[in-house]
Amino acid sequence: MTRPAPSGLLGDTAARDYAWKLRLFNAYAEPELRQAIASLHLQPGLRVLDAGCGTGEALGWLADAVGRDGLVLGADLARAHTMAARAVAPADALVIQANLAQLPLARASIDLVWSVNTINHLHDPVAGLQGLAALLRPGGRIALGQSSLLPDMYFAWDARLERLVNEAVRQYYRDRYQVSERGLADVRALAGRLRQAGLRNVTARTFMIERLAPLARADEDYLLEVIFRGTWGERLRPYLPTDDYEELARLCDPDQPGYALRRPDFHFLQSFTLVVGGI
Ligand SMILES: C[S@@+](CC[C@H](N)C(=O)[O-])C[C@H]1O[C@@H](n2cnc3c(N)ncnc32)[C@H](O)[C@@H]1O
């Protein structure tokens, strides 16, 4: 069977399914994502599109902001993600499975496009943003959220290991997706991308996701399952000196006495940046 061609830089297809990661991320970052939504001061009655809605957690948060007279739509390429989103979305929210490049929505029908950790998945983010901007009503805005534009702090007690791990992750991504470090850094260019796409009055605000030991369940689940096991783990072995890999493996193993997430000095920082532009 031939695999469908990825529609995006990071290998997304209609058949790809990483719903488990998205659910864990949204449960962990919910307080800061809600703060970011609150910072937009959405008026009741607005029509909002979550572009690349993933598993749909934000649909309910956006619906809370626009109230019963508002309208919330979610769109995502992946069948599994849209199915998951439909399962959690408020009853009057509409979730469609579609490519952001060809959304079946009328021009000038949306007041806010909300899009988190998605624009850098597109082959041509500026064209994608221009298409989304065409959906906006006069006075409409696009809000792009992106996690980790700053280096994250994972190991407060060991900056060297953190640096080596970040470098190893970059090398892994380069090999897996053939994306150069410059290509990966494109994710940082959100403000520039919005301006290139013709949006105006671009603003940016960064929220810090900060967690200290002892961790809540949602925080431990995300860090262990998505970062330690899902992003790092065995795949980093080829990119780290043996001693450093073994140290990392001990820190990431809940059965080891030195497990990072139960250290009393565990202190974690991750940035979440919201860049907003209008037409
Ligand atoms: C990293 S996830 C972020 C999902 C969600 N916004 C969140 O923050 O949990 C990126 C999402 O974009 C979707 N996606 C990627 N390329 C797409 C495209 N061309 N059109 C629509 N959705 C796309 C993926 O299926 C995935 O659900």
Cβ-contact 253, 263 below 8 angstroms: no
pLDDT digits (tens, 9 = 90+) for 99-134: 999 999 999 999 999 999 999 999 899 999 999 999
- Mean pLDDT of the region 231-245: 97
What distance in angstroms lies between residue 154's CA and the mean position of ligand 1's atoms? 25
Ligand 1 lined by 227 (C-beta under 6 Å): no
What pLDDT, on the 0 to 100 scale, is given for residue 2? 44
Ligand 1 center to residue 52 CA distance, Å? 4
| Helix boundaries (H) for 13-105 | 19-38, 57-66, 79-88
Question: What CATH superfamily is the domain 19-278?
Answer: Vaccinia Virus protein VP39 (3.40.50.150)
pLDDT mean over 235-242: 98
Give the tens place of pLDDT for each residue, 157-183: 999 999 999 999 999 988 988 877 777
Ligand 1 near 117 CB (within 6 A): yes
Q: Which atom of ligand 1 is nearest the CA belonging to 26?
A: 9
Rounded to whole angstroms, the Cα distance separating 15 from 237 reads 29
Beta strand pairing status for 200-212 and 267-278? antiparallel
Give ∠ CA 227-232-239 in degrees, rounded to 5: 155
Which of ligand 1's atoms lies nearest the C-alpha of 145?
8
Give me the residue spans of the domains in the chain: 19-278
Those residues with Cβ within 8 angstroms of residue 175's Cβ, 6 or more apart along the chain or in another chain: none
